[in-house]
Amino acid sequence: MKTIEFIKKYQIILFLSFFVVVLIVLKLIYNNGNKNQVDDKVLIPTPTLSRLTPTKGISYEVLNDGNPDYPLKKLLPYSTDKFKIIGYDDPFILVVRIKSGTNIEVEKEIREWIEKNIPGDKEHKIIFTD
């Protein structure tokens, strides 16, 4: 009688304990069966881009997080009514898409924006894309 009372009183705990034991046994069986496959697995290096070139249909990403060659990285992309600075093509080379106006007008506004964010900067170059 004590056994039946014990089972009724602790049936949920007994069920969960049994379930945990079954899961542990399954894990041990699964890991032992795949042990050789995991150890013999060949790791393939992930390819990385060293440079993005202006190409239609490709979104530009800013490269090398924290690299001093890309000082405006956290502010990009930057957009106004006249232009959009898409990102960097190379260190200190900004890729710009003109929405309206001429290259000279847009370049002047971009130089002002760069000067506001990096006073005295003379290194940044600007290239225009479609």
pLDDT given at position 61 = 42
Q: What is the dihedral of CA 15, 16, 18, 22, to 10 degrees?
A: 130
User: Contact at 8 Å (CB) between 88 and 62?
Assistant: yes
Q: Do both 33 and 59 map to the same domain?
A: no
Q: Do both 66 and 50 map to the same domain?
A: yes
Q: Do both 72 and 124 map to the same domain?
A: yes
pLDDT given at position 64 = 37
Q: 90 — phi, psi (to 5°)? A: -150, 175
pLDDT tens, per residue, the chain with 130 residues: 788 888 888 899 999 999 999 999 988 888 765 555 545 556 666 665 544 444 443 333 433 355 676 777 777 778 888 888 888 878 888 888 888 878 788 888 888 888 887 777 778 888 888 7
Question: What domain count does the chain have?
Answer: 2
Domain range for 62 is 46-130
Q: Do both 94 and 74 map to the same domain?
A: yes
Q: Do both 63 and 90 map to the same domain?
A: yes
Q: Do both 81 and 97 map to the same domain?
A: yes
